[in-house]
Amino acid sequence: MPTAEVVAEDDRNEGERLRNELRRRLLAGRAKLPTSMIGRAGRTATVAWRLGRSVLARRRAVGGGDGSDGHEVPDDIEEIARIVGSLGQLKGIDMKVGQILSYIDFAMPQDLRNALSVLQTHAQPMPGAEVVAVLRRELGERADDLLPALEAEPIAAASIGQVHRSRLPDGEPVAVKVQYPGVERAIRADLKPAGLGGAISSIIYPGAEVRAFIAEARARFLEECDYLHEAAAQRRFAALHEGHPVIAVPAVHDAYCSRRVLTSSWLAGSHLDTFLAGEPPQETRDRIGEALFGFYVGTLFQHGLYNCDPHPGNYLFLEDGRVGMVDYGCTREFERPFVAKLARLTCAVQRDDRDLLLRSFAELGLIRERRRADFETARGLVRAFYGPMLRDEIQTIDVGEARSMREVLASKRKLMKLSLPSEFLFLFRIRFGLMSVLARLGARANWHQQERRWAECE
């Protein structure tokens, strides 16, 4: 009888075979990016239906809910390939949702999460001629400095653009990110208020002010289409982490940047799965985990700056032990008064002091009336949000820590009594994303004390 270790190794090998096949199919594909609202809405509905059907089939098979023996899982690589291929073709918000589901939605079957994780670094690429056309249109004569050494095959393809390796005239290797033509128009089509408000508010938190929620999401997603905005954010993060022993932020080469082209210094490193396959020692995992916690949580509390896209495809593990942090398209800067309120909430939740919590809830507008039921709903929400950071002990993070939050969010009738600030949209995303990455790393630390230090709790 095979041991648990053998079964786990077989599962990892099978998952990697599936990912390799999906990467091959994505790179071989050449499909035109749909940009009309009607065209995108129809394709989005189709892929959502396919994904939901596949999830349901797996849950029934594993649990035996349809009368099966609970062991047979449908072998439908073609259906999975269609789902991943459709998301890769749609790009924009649809592909971004696929990326998020691959590392945050712990209720999703593992094989589907493995498949969707391919979208963290791959999609159907632009043809080479189209890449050259974008570079010439955006950079003019400066494109001639990049084109001779530009590698035809992209090293990564994201939801907004794809990345090619090249060299500057002085020989320095660089990563050149080129935006998909029409992707901003596609995202604007996805962000039509009639579709976005109901879909996202029902998924995340129905108690939010929908108009403010839509405005927040729209601003962030459209900012990602402006590579000059991303370049500015990347320079800020680079300045804040200059000389950091673990975090490396690639330099921006402004002469080769435009609204649709971003050129950065090249960082040679491996992605998370490859890094973990090398079985790094616990000390290395802990060191990297604490650095990532500071990168996200510390930068927020100390500088009001937030990188809102924590998916694993944005990390490069370098040979010198550092972690290269790439992709600053989704970056949010919070006003200092809001950061101060969030810090006070953090300290109040850690102390679980009713009076302090009530004051923080009132400051943030979480509760409309000070009734006991409203207070308990808000308290449950924020305690689920902070999760393992409330335990004052050295610990690894359980991959299922976000389930308590899902249970709270499922209680829609209670949540309707709350009024969640629109800023919480990306705070939720980064929180669950960070917890997922730390869980995958197996990093150990006293996260409670880490957050207490960054929030400057007394």
Our measurement of the distance from residue 153's CA atom to the centroid of its chain's CA atoms, rounded to an integer in Å, reads 24
* 288 in Cβ contact with 246 (< 8 Å): yes
**Mean pLDDT of the 46-64 span:** 58
Please report which confidence band the pLDDT of residue 321 belongs to, taking 50, 70 and 90 as the band edges: very high
Pair type for strands 247-248 and 323-325? parallel
Which range is least confidently modeled, 53-62, 171-180, 192-201, 380-389?
Answer: 192-201
* pLDDT exceeds 80 at position 26: no
**Mean pLDDT of the 413-417 span:** 52
- Distance CA(308)–CA(331), nearest Å, equals 6
What lies within 8 Å, CB to CB, of 413 at 6+ separation is none
**Mean pLDDT of the 302-329 span:** 90
pLDDT on residue 221: 77
* pLDDT exceeds 70 at position 186: yes
* pLDDT exceeds 60 at position 122: no
| Tokens found for residue 142 | 């400066």
* 151 in Cβ contact with 165 (< 8 Å): yes
User: Which of 115-124, 214-223, 290-299 shows the highest mean pLDDT?
Assistant: 290-299
The one-letter code for the residue type at 60 is: R
Please report which confidence band the pLDDT of residue 88 belongs to, taking 50, 70 and 90 as the band edges: low
pLDDT on residue 159: 74
pLDDT on residue 177: 96
* pLDDT exceeds 50 at position 203: no
Q: Using only the alpha carbons of the chain, give its radius of gyration.
A: 22
**Mean pLDDT of the 129-140 span:** 95
Residue with the bigger pLDDT between 326 and 83: it is: 326
Mean pLDDT across the chain, nearest whole number? Answer: 76
The domain spans of the chain are: 4-120, 184-220, 268-458
Residue with the bigger pLDDT between 286 and 424: it is: 286
**pLDDT tens digits, 242-278:** 999 999 999 999 999 999 999 999 999 999 989 999 9
> Percent of the chain having pLDDT more than 90?
39
* pLDDT exceeds 60 at position 406: no
Please report which confidence band the pLDDT of residue 172 belongs to, taking 50, 70 and 90 as the band edges: very high
* pLDDT exceeds 90 at position 86: no
Expressed in percent and rounded to 5, the helix, strand and coil fractions of the chain are 60, 10, 30
Instruction: Count other Cβ atoms within 10 Å, centred on residue 209.
Output: 15
* pLDDT exceeds 80 at position 368: no
The most distant pair of C-alpha atoms in the chain lies apart, rounded to whole Å, by 68
| Tokens found for residue 397 | 């993070």
DSSP conformational letter for 328: -
Q: Distance between terminal CA atoms of the chain?
A: 55
Cβ density class 305-333: b for 16+ within 10 Å, e for less:
bbbbbbbbbbbbbeeeebbbbbbbbbbbe
- Whole-model pTM? 0.74
What lies within 8 Å, CB to CB, of 80 at 6+ separation is 18, 22, 54, 111, 112, 115
* 214 in Cβ contact with 196 (< 8 Å): yes
